[in-house]
Amino acid sequence: MLPPVLPTPEAPEPAGPGEGGPLADPAYREAVVDLLGVLAYGELIAFERLAEDSATAPTLPDKVALASMAAAELGHFIQLRDRLTEVGAEPYAAMEPFRATFDQFHANTAPRTWLESLVKAYVGDGLAGDFYREIAAYLDEATRTLILDVLDQSGHSDFAVERVRAAIAADPRVGGRLALWGRRLVGEALSQAQLVAADRDALAALLAGGVDRPGMDLAAIGRMFVRLTENHARRMAALGLSS
Amino acid sequence: MLPPVLPTPEAPEPAGPGEGGPLADPAYREAVVDLLGVLAYGELIAFERLAEDSATAPTLPDKVALASMAAAELGHFIQLRDRLTEVGAEPYAAMEPFRATFDQFHANTAPRTWLESLVKAYVGDGLAGDFYREIAAYLDEATRTLILDVLDQSGHSDFAVERVRAAIAADPRVGGRLALWGRRLVGEALSQAQLVAADRDALAALLAGGVDRPGMDLAAIGRMFVRLTENHARRMAALGLSS
């Protein structure tokens, strides 16, 4: 994956002065549990989908490449689940509110071909990673470090670039179809993200800030979307696709 | 998994006197490449099947348990694949002769329920591990150490015991059906193993020994089957199933 344009943190760390650090604030803690829950469930389902897609790989090395991405996602999942336990949450209960969203996203974007699987792995992984990096800027240090560490461990997806470019070189019509597919993936992802934001007050409040904690105003949210869109366009271009 | 009854090595290590060690002997090297190839492909497909089965898990913790077994198998695969490269073989070419066998085995033993998945994971993993441990006794030290290391890293399957026993306690009829399933798994595994032995001369010769290298006589092969059967019966008993 290309190194993303890093977000400029627009808010300082919401460091709690009291005992127990920022997590002692119930509203903040609820938001962090939500965030870890959504991340964890996303990684678990990413494992499942990548493993499923690896079964359709045209060659054994391709199968292994996608299977390795799947195993890496499961490793991330384990770290996030264990962090949920550390902050005193029941990890699987924390993931529960996000199951329907992810399951719907994956049902709406089930790849019909191996190349669609690759584009989804590369573009989806990248977009989710960028979004979580943006949000990490608003978190306490321990949680932020974990999330950034988990995201840094990605990078198995480079082979997708090579495979997709080779397929387009062999048959340029493939590029048009996959570009449409990439746009559909982003549309579905944004639509599901909106549903989550509408449903989870604590998460939305984390972004919006609080009385003693600066958050994102509308302009900052706008700038975040610009960064997300730019990074997405760079990934599509890396694949040889118009975004 | 229960600690298996360890095989008594009935042959000394076939240490080659010449440069390059035992692998300098072309017949031995061919057998080792075959063995690593069959092991590696078996692990890759085990990943695929366990990952597929994890998608049908009734709870998230169950899903994670089976997904973790899948990821562990992929880790084993990577080690075996890299060892194939180390001994100068093209890893995927070495696996190719065994694809049809494993694919047929899994097609013939596709679990219809979550409990069948668990029994297959536990019993299949155990039987395969015992068999590879038996064969490892006939290998050079480096290859043997790798295989035993890989096998020792298993052990994610204990949760299967707990789940299967709980299901039988809740409905004893489940035990009868799963016992039949366990017998079918062993029958299919033996049938596929025979096809491999009939097809791969080098592997069969490794077991049978050579001019300067003792192998297994019929009595030794008989004793090996007794050990495999005993260990299988112990695993079935651990699950609460008659074998």
Residue type, A130: D
pLDDT-derived band at A224 (thresholds 50, 70, 90) equals confident
Give the Å distances, CA to CA, from B187 to B105, B116, B134, B229. Answer: 10, 15, 19, 11
Q: What is the pLDDT of residue B133?
A: 87
Q: Flag if A75 and B78 touch (Cβ within 8 Å).
A: no
Smallest Cβ–Cβ distance between B55 and the set A48, A54, A68 belongs to: A48
Gyration radius of chain B's alpha carbons: 18
**Cα of A95 to nearest chain B Cα, Å:** 9
Average pLDDT (A160-175) is 94
- For an interface test with B, which of A49, A60, A95, A102 has the most B Cβ atoms less than 10 Å from its Cβ? A60
pLDDT-derived band at A4 (thresholds 50, 70, 90) equals low
**Set of chain A residues whose Cβ sits within 8 Å of the Cβ of B67:** 44, 47-48, 51, 74
Ramachandran angles phi, psi of A143, nearest 5° = -70, -45
pLDDT tens for chain B, 243 residues: list them: 445 555 554 444 444 444 467 788 888 889 899 999 999 999 999 999 999 999 999 999 999 999 999 999 999 999 999 999 999 999 999 999 999 988 899 999 999 999 999 999 899 888 888 888 888 888 888 889 988 888 876 656 778 899 999 999 999 999 999 999 999 999 898 888 888 877 888 777 777 765 555 677 778 878 888 898 899 999 999 999 987
Structural domain range at position B232:
23-239
- For an interface test with A, which of B38, B45, B64, B156 has the most A Cβ atoms less than 10 Å from its Cβ? B64
* Residue A52 contacts B, CB cutoff 8 Å: yes
Answer yes or no: are the C-beta atoms of B106 and B120 closer than 8 Å. no
Q: Flag if A44 and B63 touch (Cβ within 8 Å).
A: yes
Cα(B198)–Cα(B236) distance, integer angstroms: 28
Residue A15 counted as domain residue: no
* Residue B56 contacts A, CB cutoff 8 Å: no
Q: What is the pLDDT of residue B131?
A: 84
Cα(A114)–Cα(A134) distance, integer angstroms: 30
**Cα of B184 to nearest chain A Cα, Å:** 25
Number of structural domains found in chain A: 1
Answer yes or no: are the C-beta atoms of A48 and B51 closer than 8 Å. yes
Which residue in B131, B116, B141 sits closest to B52, CA to CA?
A: B116
Answer yes or no: are the C-beta atoms of B137 and B12 closer than 8 Å. no
Cα(A23)–Cα(A15) distance, integer angstroms: 9
Instruction: Give the 3-state secondary structure of residue A210.
Output: strand
Give the Å distances, CA to CA, from A39 to A76, A119, A206. Answer: 9, 20, 15
| B104 class by beta-carbon count within 10 Å (0-12 exposed, 13-18 middle, 19+ buried) | middle
Cα(B236)–Cα(B243) distance, integer angstroms: 6
Could you write out the DSSP letters of every residue in B139-207?
S-HHHHHHHHHHHHT--TTHHHHHHHHHHHHH-THHHHHHHHHHHHHHHHHHHHHHHHHHH-HHHHHHH
Average pLDDT (A54-69) is 92
User: Which B residues 192-211 touch A at CB under 8 Å?
Assistant: none
Smallest Cβ–Cβ distance between B64 and the set A44, A51, A70 belongs to: A44
Q: What is the pLDDT of residue B16?
A: 40
Residue type, B136: A
Structural element, H or E, at residue B91: helix B91-95
Which residue does chain B place closest to A52, by CA atoms? B52
* Residue A180 contacts B, CB cutoff 8 Å: no
* Residue A54 contacts B, CB cutoff 8 Å: yes
Which residue does chain A place closest to B95, by CA atoms? A60
Instruction: Give the 3-state secondary structure of residue B68.
Output: helix
Average pLDDT (A142-171) is 85
Whole-number average pLDDT of chain A: 85
Residue B5 counted as domain residue: no
Q: Flag if B92 and A51 touch (Cβ within 8 Å).
A: no
Highest mean pLDDT among A10-14, A186-190, B90-94: B90-94
**Tokens in use for A225?**
């979307």
Give the pLDDT confidence of A123-133 residue by residue, as tens digits: 988 888 888 88
Q: What is the pLDDT of residue B149?
A: 86
* Residue B88 contacts A, CB cutoff 8 Å: no
Residue A234 counted as domain residue: yes
- The runs of H, that is alpha helices, within chain A are 26-54, 60-86, 91-95, 99-108, 114-119, 125-136, 141-152, 158-170, 173-199, 201-208, 218-239
What lies within 8 Å, CB to CB, of A79 at 6+ separation is A146, A149, A150
Percent of chain A with pLDDT over 90: 46
* Residue B97 contacts A, CB cutoff 8 Å: no
Residue B16 counted as domain residue: no
Cα(A79)–Cα(A39) distance, integer angstroms: 11
Q: Is the pLDDT of residue A19 over 70?
A: no
**Set of chain B residues whose Cβ sits within 8 Å of the Cβ of A81:** 64
**Cα of A187 to nearest chain B Cα, Å:** 26
Residue A83 counted as domain residue: yes
Smallest Cβ–Cβ distance between A55 and the set B48, B63, B77 belongs to: B48
| Lowest mean per-residue pLDDT among A16-30, A32-46, A73-87 | A16-30
Q: Is the pLDDT of residue A57 over 80?
A: yes
CATH number of the domain encompassing residue B105: 1.20.1260.10
Smallest Cβ–Cβ distance between B67 and the set A47, A54, A64 belongs to: A47
Answer yes or no: are the C-beta atoms of B122 and B239 closer than 8 Å. yes
Instruction: Give the 3-state secondary structure of residue B70.
Output: helix
- For an interface test with A, which of B66, B74, B80, B99 has the most A Cβ atoms less than 10 Å from its Cβ? B74
Q: Flag if A51 and B70 touch (Cβ within 8 Å).
A: yes
| Count of C-beta atoms within a 10 Å radius of residue A175 | 18
**For residues B58-94, b (16+ Cβ closer than 10 Å) or e, as one string?**
eebebbbbbbbbbbbbbbbbbbbbebbeebebebbeb
* Residue A156 contacts B, CB cutoff 8 Å: no
Residue A43 counted as domain residue: yes
Q: What is the pLDDT of residue B5?
A: 55
Could you write out the DSSP letters of every residue in A169-193?
HH-THHHHHHHHHHHHHHHHHHHHH
Give the Å distances, CA to CA, from B107 to A64, B31, B43, B179. Answer: 20, 27, 16, 20
Cα(B185)–Cα(A58) distance, integer angstroms: 28
Q: Flag if A68 and B74 touch (Cβ within 8 Å).
A: yes
User: DSSP state, A10?
Assistant: -
Answer yes or no: are the C-beta atoms of B49 and B69 closer than 8 Å. no
- For an interface test with B, which of A44, A48, A69 has the most B Cβ atoms less than 10 Å from its Cβ? A48
**Cα of B78 to nearest chain A Cα, Å:** 9
Residue B91 counted as domain residue: yes
Answer yes or no: are the C-beta atoms of B132 and B38 closer than 8 Å. no
Residue A68 counted as domain residue: yes
Give first-to-last CA distance, chain A, whole Å. Answer: 16
| Lowest mean per-residue pLDDT among A104-118, A157-171, A192-206, B1-15 | B1-15
**Set of chain B residues whose Cβ sits within 8 Å of the Cβ of A92:** 59-61
